[in-house]
């Protein structure tokens, strides 16, 4: 028996934790709590690092048991091998499906958080330009073809 079930169990636990962190991150964005955002980012990074280590361990086990090609191990080769196994591997199949569903959920949440962050960054940039007296309407072209704002003499910072 190949010892990959514990790897999928731990992967599932990590994905569930990442999903919860992504929910917390979204809440922190809504509150604009930078300390929480930084802390959550660090926690996510730790979990992702462990996920990468688990994946490397899983691939090494699959290579060791000649399930996937040593030079180019693919997920498809593992899935094909798994589909050919008897019912003794049903628990691994189920864990793998649960992990894939959780991964899709995490990707969706992460993309949502990225869009929220992008919106916040655009808003902050706009507010900063207003404080500097810049207007998106008052821009000129530089020698390189990009645009830059024209400073106003009446900025809020000078008031």
Distance in angstroms (rounded) separating the CA atoms of residues 85 and 83: 6
Tell me if residue 2 falls in helix, strand or coil. Answer: coil
CATH code of residue 10: 1.20.58.300
- Answer whether residue 98 is part of any domain: yes
How many Å apart are CA 58 and CA 155, to the nearest integer?
59
Domain carrying residue 108: 5-134
At 16-75, the pLDDT tens digits run 999 999 999 999 999 989 999 999 999 999 999 999 999 999 999 999 999 999 999 999
Query: How many distinct structural domains can be found in the chain?
Result: 1
Where does the pLDDT of residue 125 fall: very low under 50, low under 70, confident under 90, or very high at 90 and above?
A: confident
pLDDT band at 128 (very low <50, low <70, confident <90, very high): confident
């Amino acid at each position: 028996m190949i010892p990959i079930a514990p790897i999928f169990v731990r992967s599932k636990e990590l994905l569930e934790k990442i999903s919860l962190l992504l929910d917390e991150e979204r809440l922190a964005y809504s509150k604009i709590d930078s300390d929480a955002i930084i802390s959550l980012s660090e926690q996510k990074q730790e979990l992702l690092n462990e996920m990468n280590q688990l994946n490397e361990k899983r691939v090494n086990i699959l290579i060791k048991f000649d399930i996937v090609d040593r030079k180019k191990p693919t997920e498809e080769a593992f899935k094909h091998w798994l589909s050919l196994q008897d019912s003794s591997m049903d628990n691994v199949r189920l864990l793998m499906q649960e992990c894939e569903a959780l991964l899709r959920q995490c990707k969706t949440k992460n993309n949502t958080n990225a869009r929220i962050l992008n919106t916040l960054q655009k808003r902050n940039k706009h507010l900063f330009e207003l404080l500097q007296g810049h207007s998106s309407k008052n821009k000129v072209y530089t020698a390189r073809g990009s645009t830059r704002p024209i400073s106003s003499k009446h900025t809020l910072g000078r008031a």
